[in-house]
């Protein structure tokens, strides 16, 4: 083999190893970049978890319920709820509507046309309805005394906005629960006890009795009513 052939072969080999080394460097750099991205992502997730933990600790402080007499009434729970529930950024403001109607009634002023307000302190129940030609908007609040005497369960229901016979879900639709501690006189948000809220249904809180009525809807309107039975701490079908 001539000297020139050997030299050319050595050049090709060195060029091949150079290409391989370059590729390995690129792979290493890519792996290093992915590793750094992974570390950054972990830092972001950790920050989110810490922020959520802080919010959870704040939420655990609860909402103070002020009252006179032996214990809070449904109106006391409603006022505490209104103080905590922020609707300023929402298109429709159901809690504000109930609060304004309660304020007008307390001052002896008439309600707006199409509005109905019932405050049943004895049974721990508030009902508000706004009705016009095509839309019916119903909101309710009530509370239950839990077993053991340490807690009460408060609910705010805004799942019954009906337009032209159809159930409508908006950004403020919801059935929310708060657990009130008789010792600390505070209530804190809690998940729906014993069931998941289905936004394809509407809910009716009890004025008389203790069970929640769940109404399933189809294309023609309300179809099936099912009771969610109160068991002293939560609900079940």
Domain boundary among 20, 38, 60: 60
What pLDDT was estimated at residue 89?
54
pLDDT tens across 66-123, in order? 999 999 999 999 999 998 876 555 555 778 889 999 999 999 999 999 999 999 999 9
φ/ψ of 234, rounded to 5, equals -165, -160
98/185 same-domain check? yes
Pairing mode, strands 151-163 and 166-168: antiparallel
Give me the residues of the chain with pLDDT under 70, please: 1-60, 86-92
72/19 same-domain check? no
How many separate domains does the chain show? 2
DSSP state letters, 199-222 = TTEEEE--SSSSPEEEEEEETTEE
What pLDDT was estimated at residue 87?
59
55/42 same-domain check? yes
121/228 same-domain check? yes
What pLDDT was estimated at residue 88?
59
What pLDDT was estimated at residue 197?
95
41/76 same-domain check? no
173/184 same-domain check? yes
| Residue (of 72, 121, 120, 75) closest to 98 by Cα position | 75
164/109 same-domain check? yes
Asked if 78 and 84 touch (Cβ cutoff 8 Å), the reply is no
Structural domain span for residue 13: 1-60
What pLDDT was estimated at residue 4?
46
């Amino acid at each position: 083999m001539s000297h020139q052939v050997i030299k050319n072969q050595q050049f090709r080999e060195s060029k091949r190893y150079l290409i391989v080394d370059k590729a390995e460097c690129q792979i290493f750099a890519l792996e290093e970049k992915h590793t750094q991205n992974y570390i950054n992502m972990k830092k972001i997730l950790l920050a989110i978890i810490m922020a959520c933990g802080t919010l959870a600790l704040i939420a655990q402080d609860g909402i103070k319920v002020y009252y006179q007499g032996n214990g809070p009434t449904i109106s006391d729970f409603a006022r505490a709820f209104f103080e905590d529930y922020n609707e300023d950024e929402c298109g429709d403001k159901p809690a504000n509507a109930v609060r304004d109607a309660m304020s007008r009634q307390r001052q002896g002023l008439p309600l707006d046309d199409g509005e109905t307000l019932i405050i049943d302190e004895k049974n721990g129940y508030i009902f508000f309805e706004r009705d016009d030609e095509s839309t019916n908007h119903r909101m309710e609040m009530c509370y239950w005394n839990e077993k053991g005497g340490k807690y009460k369960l408060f609910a705010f229901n805004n799942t019954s906005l009906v337009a032209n016979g159809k159930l409508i879900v908006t950004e403020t639709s919801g059935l929310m629960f708060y657990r009130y501690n008789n010792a600390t006189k505070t209530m804190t948000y809690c998940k729906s006890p014993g069931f998941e809220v289905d936004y394809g249904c509407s809910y009716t809180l009890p004025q008389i009795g203790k069970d929640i009525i769940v109404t399933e809807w189809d294309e023609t309107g309300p179809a099936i009513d099912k009771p969610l039975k109160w068991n002293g701490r939560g609900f079940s079908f």
